Structure formats: C-alpha cells, structure tokens
Chain A
C-alpha cells in the first residue's frame, strides 16, 4: 500500500524558515517524481514543486522560486521542502504527492499545516 506521511508543519513568523519532510513507503520511491501541492485555508489547490528521481531536475511555481527548495533522499525514501523567507500568503496545508508519468497526482499524503503569522 502506498503511504506518504508529511511532517514538519508549524507556526512560524514572517521571514522565517521551515523544512517539511515526507516519508514514502509501499512503492519503489527512486522510480517516481515527487510533488508538493498546497492549499490555503478555504482556497483551492496550488501546485508548488516537482522533483525527478535522483534530484537533478526540479520545477517550481513562480511564487516560491528562490525561496523554496525541493530535495529528496532516494536511499531514505524521503522528499523535503525547505521553505525560507516565508510570507503570510504561504500559510496552507502542504501535501506530499506521488507524480505519475502523465503528470497527474495519484497518491496524496494527509497534509501538514504551515501557518505564517506574527
């Protein structure tokens, strides 16, 4: 059974940093692109970033470029999202997602809440 378990969400002040983690199991992690998708309270879904197996290819939504960094450890079946220079508009539930070859989001974690507030 595919499982994705996020952790690391917290309350942080504007300008602060946070690192999200996602532990994957139930599939061959090193074969799959991984994704972070977020959802602000009461709002829609927003794709944040993708990372290729091995980590040498990454893509980001413009609003987080230069502030967020996606990475992975294929040996530990984990993907991460380092979030720096956080803004209040980054407040959201962040979902870890397994990306399928056609670019759709097949398996989702339960989400972790990041709140950016003073």
Chain B
C-alpha cells in the first residue's frame, strides 16, 4: 500500500499569510494526486486534482505542485474561509490512500 504523510499536522497562520502543506508518498504516484478541504461537520470538497489542476469554482489562491513522491498545496493569501482541514489523496494504485490531514488554524 502507498502511505501518504502530510506535514505539518497542524498549522497556525494569519489572514493574508502564504501557507504550504506538504504530502509525501511512500512510493511514486505519478500525477494521480488530489487535495481536499474539509470544514467541521461537512463533507470534504475537492480543491486540486492531477497534482495541479484547479477544480472549477475553487479560488485561484489555491495551487498544487510536485511530482513523483512529494507534493505541495499552497494558499497564496489566507482568507477567513480557508481555516479548515486539508487532505491529500493518491489514486495511482489500490488501495486509494489519503494523508492523515493538516488542520489549518487561526493564529
């Protein structure tokens, strides 16, 4: 199984900050990497797919990059609505696996 490890687990930041979340895979996942945002009590929301493709309707302050085993989600200027949990997910091979999550908190 491919293990996905996110860092950090918790991130404290302020409105307007640029933040980066990292996702490392235990083996290569090609371009089959997605990112999700989840707010408490709600279903996750797709942000990025195929490493860097922005899902329709997602603000352009979100971006994804990386290749092989290391990937990043960047929020260029944090907005109040962005404080949530974030997950990466690989679909290169079964079983599909997700990172443990990164909780983005207000500093």
Q: How many residues of B contact A (CB 8 A)?
A: 25
- Contacting pair B91 A103 (CB below 8 A): yes
Q: In the complex the two chains form, what is the Cα distance from A45 to B102 in whole Å?
A: 12
Q: Which residues of A contact B49 (CB under 8 A)?
A: 100, 102, 104, 106
- Contacting pair B89 A44 (CB below 8 A): no
Interface residues of A in 31-81 (CB under 8 A from B): 44-47, 50, 59-62
- Contacting pair A47 B98 (CB below 8 A): yes
Say if the beta carbon of A85 comes within 8 Å of chain B.
no
Q: Which residues of A contact B98 (CB under 8 A)?
A: 44-47
Chain A residue nearest to B32 in the complex (CB): A103
Say if the beta carbon of B62 comes within 8 Å of chain A.
no
Chain B residue nearest to A106 in the complex (CB): B46
Say if the beta carbon of B7 comes within 8 Å of chain A.
no
- Contacting pair A105 B46 (CB below 8 A): yes
Q: Which residues of A contact B31 (CB under 8 A)?
A: 102
Say if the beta carbon of B74 comes within 8 Å of chain A.
no
- Contacting pair B43 A44 (CB below 8 A): no
Say if the beta carbon of B100 comes within 8 Å of chain A.
yes
Q: In the complex the two chains form, what is the Cα distance from A61 to B45 in whole Å?
A: 22
Chain B residue nearest to A62 in the complex (CB): B95
Q: Which residues of A contact B46 (CB under 8 A)?
A: 104-106
A45 contact from B1, B32, B44, B50, Cβ within 8 A: B44
Interface residues of B in 90-105 (CB under 8 A from A): 91-92, 94-101
Q: In the complex the two chains form, what is the Cα distance from A103 to B50 in whole Å?
A: 9
- Could you tell me the distance in whole angstroms from the C-beta of A2 to the nearest C-beta in chain B? 12
User: Chain B interface (Cβ within 8 Å of chain A)?
Assistant: 1, 31-32, 34, 36, 38, 43-46, 49-50, 55, 87, 89, 91-92, 94-101
User: Chain A interface (Cβ within 8 Å of chain B)?
Assistant: 44-47, 50, 59-62, 95, 100, 102-106, 108-111
Given contacts A44-B87, A102-B31, 11 further A-B contacts (CB under 8 A): A45-B98, A46-B98, A47-B95, A47-B97, A50-B96, A61-B95, A62-B1, A103-B92, A104-B89, A105-B46, A106-B55
Q: Would you mind naming 23 contact pairs between A and B with Cβ atoms under 8 Å apart?
A: A44-B98, A44-B99, A45-B36, A45-B44, A46-B98, A47-B95, A50-B96, A59-B94, A60-B95, A61-B95, A62-B1, A95-B43, A102-B32, A102-B34, A103-B32, A103-B34, A103-B91, A103-B96, A104-B34, A104-B49, A104-B50, A105-B44, A106-B49
